[in-house]
Amino acid sequence: MSAAIPTVEELMALPPEYLAEDQGGKLLQTSIAFLILVPLFFGFFVTSRIVHGSKDTWDVWVLSTISVLTCVSLCILGIFLVIDAGTGRHVAYHLLTDPSKITQYLALQTAIEFIYCIAISTPKLQLLLLYLKIFRVGTHRILRWIAWATMVCVILQWLIVGVIVWASICRPLRFKWDKSINGTCADLLAAYRYVSVPNILTDLVILVLPMSTVKNLHVSTLRKIGIFLTFLTGSAGIVVSIIRFVGFYTIDLFADVTYHSTVTMLLTIAEPSVYTICSMMPYSTPLMRAMFQDSAVHRVFSKIHTSIMGSTNNKYGKRSYPTHEQSVNGYSVKATSSGPQEIPEDRVGFIELVDTIDVRSDRKPGLA
C-alpha cells in the first residue's frame, strides 16, 4: 500500500471500471489445480513404493510427506486469500467497502511466507539425496561434495530466510499485518528480491549437477536425451522461480498490494508445488511402467528408470567376463561368467553371479 491513504472523496472519484476489476480468479484456479495435482502425484508415489515393495530410506518418506503437507497448506491459504481477503481487487475497493480485508490479506501473506520457505526446501533436499545415491563414492567424489554443500546451503537458506529474516523484518512482528499498532518494518520488497537469488542459484546447481554423469553413461544418445529430460523435469521449478524473481522487479507490489500480488502469490504457490511433483516422479516410475505396460511409454520409462535408479541399486554395473577353456587329462573344461547383474528394486543389496561350466570329455569310454 502507498504511504498516504486516499480520502473517501478521492476513492469515490475513481472510475467504476477500475473499482470493479478483479483478477483473483487466476490465484483461485491455480490454488485449486495444485490442491488436486500434488496429492494425486503423492498417491502415485505411495502406491508405487508400497505395491512394488520398494525399500526406501526414511528421508524419502519424511521429505515427501512434508513437501506435500506444506504445498497443500499453501494452496488452502491461496484459496482463503481470494475468498476471505479479497486478493485480486484493488486496495481502493477494500478501503471503500471493508478495510479489514487488507489486514486479513497481510496476515495470510505472512503465514504463506513462513510455509513457503519449508515447501521450497524439502523437495530440493530430496532431489539432492537422490543424487547422492546415484553418484558413486569413488568415481564421483567432487559431485558428491557439491551435492552435500548445496544441501547445507538449502538448510541455511531456510534457517536464515524462513526463520530469522521473516521473524525480525517487522518489530513487533504483528505490525506486519496490523497497522493499527506502533511498529516499523524493513524494506519488504527488497527482502523478497534478495532472498530469491540464493533460491535460483541452488536451482541451477540441482539442474547442472547430474549432467556430467548423464554424459558419461554408456547408453544410446536417445536414451541419454530421455534421462536428461527426466532431470530437467526435476528442475522445472527454476522456471517458475525466475519468473517470480523478475516479478518483484517489474511490479510495484505495495502500491496496490491486494491487486498486484495476485501473480506473485500465484507463483509462490506454483513453484514449490512443481518442485514437489517433480521430486516424486523418479520414485513413481514402477507404477507408471505397470500402468502403461506393453506400450511405447512403458519401454521409455523402463529404460530411463533402469539407468537412473539402477545406479542406486548396483554400484558395480553389468560387466562381461572372458570365456576360459582348458584341457586337463583329456577333459575340456569351459567356464564363463556374466558377472554382477542389474537387480530389481526388491533385490537391493544382493549381487547375482551367473556362472556356466561346461565339461566335455575327449577320451573314449572305458579308458582309464
Average pLDDT across the chain, whole number: 78
pLDDT digits (tens, 9 = 90+) for 93-112: 999 999 999 999 999 999 99
Residues paired with 331 in a beta bridge: 328, 361
If pLDDT is split at 50, 70 and 90, which confidence band does 76 have?
very high
Exposure of 110 by Cβ count < 10 A (0-12 exposed, 13-18 middle, 19+ buried)?
middle
Q: How many CB atoms lie within 10 A of CB 334?
A: 13
Radius of gyration of the chain (CA): 28
* Phi, psi torsion values for 87, nearest 5 degrees: -65, 135
> One-letter amino acid identity for 304?
I
Cell of 65: 510427506
DSSP letter (8 states) at residue 185: E
Backbone angles phi, psi at 361, to 5 degrees: -105, 130
For residue 346, which amino acid is it?
D
Q: Of 69 and 313, which is predicted with more confidence?
A: 69
Mean pLDDT highest for which of 15-24, 65-74, 343-352, 356-365? Answer: 65-74
How far apart, in Å, do the first and last CA atoms of the chain sit?
Answer: 105
Distance CA(195)–CA(120), nearest Å, equals 12
Q: Which residues, including other chains, have CB under 8 Å from residue 80's CB and lie 6 or more apart?
A: 108
Lowest mean pLDDT among 162-176, 211-225, 292-306, 352-366: 352-366
pLDDT of residue 73 exceeding 60: yes
Positive or negative torsion for Cα 24, 28, 31, 34: negative
DSSP secondary structure, 272-324, as one string: HHHHHHHHHGGGSHHHHHHHTTTSHHHHHHHHHHHHHHHHHH-SS-------E
**3-state secondary structure at position 18:** helix
Dmax (CA) of the chain: 122
Task: Give percent helix, percent strand, percent coil of the chain, each to the nearest 5.
Answer: 70, 10, 25
For 161, which DSSP code? Answer: I
Extract the C-alpha cell encoding 46. 505411495
Each residue of 156-186: pLDDT tens digit?
A: 888 887 788 878 889 999 999 998 899 998 8
What is residue 216's predicted lDDT score, i.e. its pLDDT?
72
Give the global pTM.
Answer: 0.74
Mean pLDDT of 340-359: 42
Contact assessment for residue 260 and residue 253, using Cβ atoms and an 8 Å cutoff: yes
pLDDT category of residue 248 using cuts at 50, 70 and 90: confident
Write down the H helix ranges in 52-140. 58-83, 91-97, 100-134
**CATH code at 8-288:** 1.20.1070
Q: Which residue(s) pair with 353 in the sheet?
A: 340
Domain with CATH 1.20.1070 in the chain: 8-288
User: What grid cell was written down for 114?
Assistant: 513462513
The Cα–Cα gap between 288 and 330 comes to 55
Of 78 and 234, the structure prediction assigns the larger pLDDT to 78
308 closest CA partner among 290, 281, 276:
281
Strand segments, DSSP code E, in the chain are 170-171, 184-185, 324-328, 331-340, 353-361
Q: Output the nine-digit C-alpha cell for 208.
A: 547442472
Nearest to 101 by CA among 115, 77, 81, 76: 81
Please give the Cα distance from 242 to 55 (Å, whole number): 36
Q: Kindly tell me the sign of the dihedral angle through the C-alpha atoms of 177, 181, 183, 184.
A: positive
- Quick one: what percent of the chain has pLDDT higher than 70? 70
